[in-house]
Amino acid sequence: MTLSKTSARYGEQVPTPHYGQPRYRTIADELRQRIESGVIPPGALLPAESALTAEFRASRGTIRQAIALLRAAGVLVTDHGRGTYANPGSPVGDSASEVETRERHIAANAEIASLFAVEVGTVLIEHRSITRTNGAVSLVVVKYRLLQLQRDCLRVP
Amino acid sequence: MTLSKTSARYGEQVPTPHYGQPRYRTIADELRQRIESGVIPPGALLPAESALTAEFRASRGTIRQAIALLRAAGVLVTDHGRGTYANPGSPVGDSASEVETRERHIAANAEIASLFAVEVGTVLIEHRSITRTNGAVSLVVVKYRLLQLQRDCLRVP
DNA sequence: AGAAATTTGTCCGTATGTATC
DNA sequence: AGATACATACGGACAAATTTC
């Protein structure tokens, strides 16, 4: 029911709710900014997870989720008993972009239905892809395709 | 070493130790095999996380780690309140297909505006792509981009 | 070389929010 | 509106790799 804006700010303890951005993404953005701004130079070790836990007042799992995000983006590298450090060999370091995708079934509206030459209300697959560059949404891609089962593509073992 | 009694076999449940492969990877391999072997056909929903928890006798976090692995590999797709299913796989790309594209400027509606975090009515670039396979429309892709990128690349070293 | 401390890896259980059916 | 299912977050425990003493 679309609750009005709760004036909850981060930095304090949030029980569980994720307003707007989840906590781990906020932390990831903060860490990436530190790297891009030079606070954490390339190759330098980040504070230990236990330290980040204390600083961001988040659980270790949440910190690790944030780190995993940046590791997947190639921004960070982690060695087992050693630590996590800023990847010295990141191409631009700046244009790190993450893609978030999502698929769902939808009923075709008039516009889409006419494109596919099907009846309005026909179930289609909608594939959404949101690309964030430096944390900001830079590209949105929406794909539509028919729900028909594809007998043409067979998996090879 | 010299501790020859590290065996906490317990029969079925492993308390914490990870022998050889971590548990979540073993589970991921098992799930992948089910998909490739056809036990879980493309597009079919996987059992819910709660069900997998019971079947593999693992915690939900571990199940989710396994699923995340396959999702990153493009094997699985997850919808929020719906479920996780085997990725139907590659789009068409089968027989002769033609692509028709068009690009134009549009004003952001409420939905798109919120995604980009801009005001409704902001001018965006819309790129449409219609793919016809054997004459019939099989795929429609709509991309949205900001008209001006904000202070991204092009940094002086 | 060995032992302890540090740090990341894995796993569990629980609670609550949010989206979908 | 209720049930179901995924998402986020917390806290604790132990394992494994590395560093330090």
Place of tokens 């590209």: A139
Which tokens belong to B1?
A: 């070493």
Count of alpha carbons within 13 Å of B150, Cβ hemisphere only? 12
SS3 track for B93-140:
CCCCEEEEEEEEEEECCHHHHHHHCCCCCCEEEEEEEEEEECCEEEEE
SS3 track for chain A:
CCCCCCCCCECECCCCCCCCCCHHHHHHHHHHHHHHHCCCCCCCECCCHHHHHHHHCCCHHHHHHHHHHHHHCCCEEEECCCEEEECCCCCCCCCCEEEEEEEEEEECCHHHHHHHCCCCCCEEEEEEEEEEECCEEEEEEEEEEECCCCCCCCCCC
For residue B148, what pLDDT band results from cuts at 50, 70 and 90? Answer: low
Could you give the 3-state DSSP secondary structure of residue B77?
A: strand
Output the pLDDT for position B134.
Answer: 62
**CB within 8 Å: A136 and B150:** yes
The tens digit of pLDDT for each residue in B74-103 reads 889 898 898 999 987 533 233 456 777 877
Task: List the single residue in A with minimal CA-CA distance to B72.
Answer: A72
Q: Which residue has the higher pLDDT, B105 or B14?
A: B105
Q: Is B48 on the interface with A (CB under 8 A)?
A: no
Output the pLDDT for position B17.
Answer: 59
**Cα(B92)–Cα(B108) distance, rounded to whole angstroms?**
30
Residue A148: closest CA among B88, B116, B150: B88
Output the pLDDT for position B90.
Answer: 33
The radius of gyration of chain B from alpha carbons, rounded to an integer in Å, stands at 24
Largest interatomic CA distance in chain B: 72
Output the pLDDT for position B28.
Answer: 93
Residue B126: closest CA among B103, B92, B147: B103
CB atoms closer than 10 angstroms to residue B71: 17
Residues of chain A with pLDDT under 50: 1-14, 149-157
Taking CA A124 as the corner, what is the angle to CA B146 and CA B28, rounded to the nearest 5 degrees?
85
The tens digit of pLDDT for each residue in B45-76 reads 999 999 999 999 999 999 999 999 999 888 89
Q: Name the β-bridge partners of B30.
A: none
For residue B153, what pLDDT band results from cuts at 50, 70 and 90? Answer: very low
The tens digit of pLDDT for each residue in B28-42 reads 999 998 988 888 888
Residues in chain B within 8 Å Cβ distance of A143: 139-142
- Which secondary structure element, helix H or strand E, spans residue B55, and what is its range? helix B49-56
**CB within 8 Å: B140 and A112:** yes
Output the pLDDT for position B84.
Answer: 93
The reply to whether B63 has its C-beta less than 7 Å from any atom of strand D is: no
**CB within 8 Å: A143 and B140:** yes
**Cα(A26)–Cα(A72) distance, rounded to whole angstroms?**
16
Q: Is B152 on the interface with A (CB under 8 A)?
A: yes
Which tokens belong to B125?
A: 């670039």
Q: How far is the CA of A49 from the C1' of D11 (A)?
A: 15
Output the pLDDT for position B135.
Answer: 65
Output the pLDDT for position B96.
Answer: 59
